[in-house]
Every structure is written in C-alpha cells, then in structure tokens.
Amino acid sequence: MFVSDPIASEAIVDCIFCKIAAGSIPAKKVREDDAVLAFHDIDPKAPTHILVIPKKHIASLAEAKADDAALLGRLLLAVAEIAQEQGLGKGYRVVISTGAEGGQTVDHLHLHVLGGRQMHWPPG
Ligand code: 5GP
Ligand code: ZN
C-alpha cells in the first residue's frame, strides 16, 4: 500500500526493508549513506551474505525507471566496495531475485552479496 505519492521516496507501509531503512526494525548494518543501506541477511546462505538496498522503495528491478539509473549504479558500486571491505577478494556472487519466478520474497529491490565459499552454477 502506498503512503501517499506512489513515486515518492516515502516508506511503504508494511514493507520490511523500508522499516529497516527507517530504523524501526533493527538490522546488522554494514554501510549506510543518504541513498543506500547494506545489512546482513537474517538467514545467511553463505559465510558472507549481505543485502544492499536503495532507501527509496522500488518494488523490484522490474519496477526501476530511467530516473533510477544513478541509484542503480550506486547500488552496484556499493556492492563492489562492500565485497572488498568484507575480504571477498577471491570472488563473490550478486543476485537480484525479481518477481515470483525469480524467487523474490521481499518486494523492495535488494542485491544479495554472497561470498566466503565456492558458488555453483546453475543456481537453484
Ligand atoms: P529474496 O527472497 O527476495 O531474494 O530475498 C529476501 C531476503 O531477505 C532473504 O534472503 C531473507 O532471508 C531476507 N530477509 C527477510 N526478512 C528479513 C529481515 O527482517 N531482516 C534481514 N536482515 N533480512 C531479512
Ligand atoms: Zn520498501
């Protein structure tokens, strides 16, 4: 449900990642700036499993607009910096689950950063 303006950067009611971005739900934060937040996944699937999100509510990659291009770039650059800070120099995987068949379970765009073990292909 939208709070007011559907394209504004306001928190979306009942969006768990908007609540984490707003600080009303705790998370183990890794990094934060004005537009991007990174925190540890609550149910890690690798020794390092971090989620990188825009503070602005974008429901999924499929919902991103041309106006979001700079923000999307910042998310990817944040991933690369976090991976370096977390000692993932041997490699890591970035996953963006998108939509039902993509396995997306939280409808707020997030980039999974998985590392600390050998990744395999194809993913499940
Ligand atoms: P998806 O399934 O959409 O690709 O990824 C959602 C991720 O969010 C899952 O890996 C899940 O463990 C994580 N997650 C769900 N709820 C919370 C929460 O309240 N806190 C944190 N830190 N991670 C969460
Ligand atoms: Zn949200």
- What is the number of structural domains in the chain? 1
The distance between the two most distant Cα atoms of the chain, rounded to a whole number of Å, is 45
Q: What is the pLDDT of residue 9?
A: 52
Residue with the smallest CA separation from ligand 1 atom 16 is 42
- How many residues are listed for the chain in this entry? 124
Whether 1 has a pLDDT exceeding 50, the answer reads no
Quick one: average pLDDT of 106-118?
A: 98
Whether residue 1 is contained in a domain is answered as no
Q: What is the CATH number of the domain that holds 40?
A: 3.30.428.10
Q: Are 78 and 36 in contact (CB under 8 A)?
A: yes
In short, whether 44's Cβ falls inside 6 Å of ligand 1 is no
Whether residue 28 is contained in a domain is answered as yes
Kindly report whether the global pTM for this prediction surpasses the value 0.75: yes
Whether residue 15 is contained in a domain is answered as yes
Interval 15-46: pLDDT, tens: 999 999 999 999 999 999 999 999 999 999 99
Residue 37 alpha carbon to ligand 1 centre in Å:
14
Whether residue 124 is contained in a domain is answered as no
Range of 99's domain?
6-115
Q: Tell me the DSSP string of 91-103.
A: -EEEE---TTTTT
